[in-house]
Amino acid sequence: MTVSVDRKGLNTYEAPFDEIVVPLRGFLFEHGKLRGIYVKEGIIPVTEELPKEVNEAILKGKAKRKAVIREIRDKSGETLEVYLEVEYQSWPVHVTHLQGA
């Protein structure tokens, strides 16, 4: 998935990375827990467990309607991290690591 909306220039990682901001179209909940976030190209599954209070805040509309996607490249491969900002805190919702060749 390649989406480019807004780039940020702060690099606090040892490895090079790209960071983009993607607008959200909606949230997928199952039994009160966030299971996915809708973006223009499809859905990003939630792989990280969020606290109950964060799930409730998202349901109440207190989450920003954008996600930060960070692609980190190092010797071991690439890591894709997706963050949501809920009530002025960033929460990781999806983390995937792809092994290098």
DSSP 92: E
> Structure tokens of 51?
């606290």
Sign of torsion over alpha carbons 83, 88, 89, 91: negative
Residue 41's alpha-carbon distances to 2, 22, 25, 60, 98, in angstroms, are: 9, 10, 10, 25, 21
pLDDT at 30 over 90: yes
**CA 73 – CA 63 distance, rounded (Å):** 28
Position 77 scores a pLDDT of 86
Mean pLDDT value of segment 85-96: 93
Q: Does 76 score more than 70 pLDDT?
A: yes
Tell me what pLDDT residue 99 has: 82
DSSP assigned state of 7: B
